Amino acid sequence: MKKFFLISLFALVNITCYLIFNSKYQAKDFCSQNLCLLIQTKRKYYKLNEPVYLDVRLINNSKRSYLVYSELIHNYNIYFNIQDSFGNTIPCLGIFPEPVMRGLCDYILLEPNEYIGKIIQLNNKDIGCYFYKGEYIIEANYEWGDIFLQELKGKGEVLNKEMRDMFWTGILKSNEIKIIVR
């Protein structure tokens, strides 16, 4: 059963990457790093004021394991870049999460070909990305830096070099997707 699940997950990741790589709106560096950030919607067309849900996935496409924060949180480690057809940036003015000291128990070991994900509604009060009629290009960034490792040290967590090397830090850009609001 576990073997079937792993084979299915591997096939899903490969099919998804194939579809993204053949997309007209792909980011050039998408999936070129050890982790990749994938965003997708179920549909391309939406009615005005209709909820726009975005499936966000952080995928480990390397041959090694990484310690990553266990949740994708808007304005904490996930940020959205949305542009209209004129190139104007659409701000996401939602709530910013309270800074919380995170401990090691808040991290997970993301094994090769595994992912963490979340469905996020972009146009609600928490995220605050509002759309008018028109076309939009959406991209997400995942960011995790050394400052978070300093948080752990500040909480008294002891990290040896081997453990520090297991943490993934950096900035990832997702693929770009296009939606149309009518």
Q: How many CB atoms lie within 10 A of CB 111?
A: 13
Overall pTM surpassing 0.85 (yes/no): no
First to last CA, the chain: 45
CATH of 2-181, one of 2.60.40.2970, 1.10.645.10, 3.30.70.3040, 3.40.630.40: 2.60.40.2970
Instruction: Give the model confidence (pLDDT) of 36-87 as tens digits.
Output: 999 999 999 999 999 999 999 999 999 999 988 888 888 778 899 999 999 9
The full set of domain ranges for the chain reads 2-181
Contact indicator for 72, 116 with CB cutoff of 8 Å: yes
